[in-house]
Amino acid sequence: MIILGVDPGTLVTGYGVISADRGTMRLLAAGVIRNKSSHSMPLRLEAIYDGLETVIDRYAPDEFAIETAFYGKNAQSALKIGQARGVAMLAAVHRELPTSEYAPRAVKKAVTGNGGATKEQVQYMVRSILKLRTAPKELDASDAVAVALCHLTHRSPRTASSRAAQDWKSYIEQNPGRVVRQQ
C-alpha cells in the first residue's frame, strides 16, 4: 500500500509518500512544490497540479490523502488554500486514486497524540514513527507525511481497494491477507 499525503498551499505545497506493508512503514519521498509570490494564481495552481502529477507518476500511490482547509480569521487565505486543494485533488482524481480528507487537528492528533501540536512536534514524530535518521527538511513536507500517516491509521478495511466490496465473497477476494483460514 502506497499513500500520498498532501499539505496544500499556494506558495508551498508539501507532499509525502509512504509505503505500508505488513506492519512495516517506509518513507519513499518527501518534498515541496514551491511557487513564487510574483507568479499569478493560475500559474501557481498549474505548478501544483503538474508537480503532484509527477509525484503520482513516479511513485504510483494506491491512495491519496489531503489536509482540509484551516478556517482562521483570514477568508482570503482560506480561499487560496481551497484552490490549491482543488487542483491537488484533481490530480488524484485524474489518476483514479481514492481520496480522503483530514482536518489539521486530526492529523496532529494521529501523529503526536495532541491536536494542538506545533509543526516542529509533528516533524519530530514523523521522524520517530518512520525511524528516520533525519526528518524531512521542510515543515510542509513533514506535515504532508503526517497526513499520509494519519490516513494509514484511519483506513477502514473497505478502503483497502479502490472498489468497495459488494458482498463477503468480493471482500475476501479483495482482502486475502485479512482472512484467517481454519486448519
Q: Which residues are catalytic?
A: 7, 67, 140
Q: How far apart are CA 135 and CA 122, in angstroms?
A: 10
Residue with cell 508551498: 12
Q: Would you call 117 exposed, middle or buried from its count of C-beta atoms within 10 A (0-12, 13-18, 19+)?
A: buried
In 3-state terms the chain splits into helix, strand, coil percentages (rounded to 5) of 50, 20, 30
Q: How far apart are CA 175 and CA 71, in angstroms?
A: 38
